Amino acid sequence: MGTADGGKTDLRRILLDRRAALSPGTIGAAQEALGRRALGLPELAGAGTVAAYVSVGREPGTRALLERLRDRGVRVLLPVLLPDNDLDWGLYRGPGHLARAGRGLLEPDGPRLGPDAVTEADAVLLPGLAVDGRGMRLGRGGGSYDRVLARLERAGATPALVVLLYDDEVVARVPEEPHDHPVHAVVTPGGVRRFAPA
């Protein structure tokens, strides 16, 4: 694992291969469990605005959670991928208001709120492939959420940062680079793990 990214590429490949082997039944059961556990988090229970994302493919499922948050009256922001890999945001208005976008993503079909809209969130659900015992997250490598985290830091915004993963994606160690930020909690079908601030 001597790549320039400290071994992230190799670990990503292993984790994506593992996800590819999951059965539809396992994925569906995980989505239900993740939704229940995430809704029980105080950070989401008390949130007025949550920045989230629509799971695609074999990602840990967020769709049931998005609906439950909306039913509670939570303002849910969803990302819109920009040509430079930064993220704009739009409001989640239900599954009938999602449009297919590049890279197999689903995005909100309504007005764009601007990249800074995420700074209004009380909690941010981050996609990922793994989290380690320090709360360091491994993403897919596009850098979109690194920009989101940097934007939050510049704005002085301090939302709860939460990652949804499968149980075996909480690992001993994730390769870390200087720009990486730890998250506050990881939710898996098997439970919730919190990380102390650095």
Strand partners, 194: 185
pLDDT under 70: residue ranges of the chain: 1-6, 197-198
Tell whether residue 7 is among the known ligand binding residues: no
Which superfamily does CATH assign the domain made up of 8-194 to?
NagB/RpiA/CoA transferase-like (3.40.50.10420)
Residue with tokens 């098997």: 190
Give yes or no for a contact between 29 and 189, defined as CB atoms under 8 angstroms apart.
yes
Tell whether residue 59 is among the known ligand binding residues: yes
Tell whether residue 12 is among the known ligand binding residues: yes
Q: How far apart are CA 72 and CA 184, in angstroms?
A: 23
Tell whether residue 143 is among the known ligand binding residues: yes
Residue 67's pLDDT is 94
What is the residue extent of each domain of the chain? Answer: 8-194
Residue 197's pLDDT is 64
Give yes or no for a contact between 162 and 184, defined as CB atoms under 8 angstroms apart.
yes
Q: Is the pTM of this model over 0.75?
A: yes
Count of C-beta atoms within a 10 Å radius of residue 37: 18
Q: How far apart are CA 78 and CA 28, in angstroms?
A: 21
**Residue pLDDT, tens place only, 20-59:** 999 999 999 999 999 999 999 999 988 999 999 999 989 9
Tell whether residue 142 is among the known ligand binding residues: yes
Tell whether residue 139 is among the known ligand binding residues: yes
Residue 181's pLDDT is 83
Tell whether residue 11 is among the known ligand binding residues: yes
Tell whether residue 140 is among the known ligand binding residues: yes
Tell whether residue 9 is among the known ligand binding residues: yes
Residue 95's pLDDT is 93
Tokens at 41, concatenated: 């988090």
Q: How far apart are CA 48 and CA 60, in angstroms?
A: 23
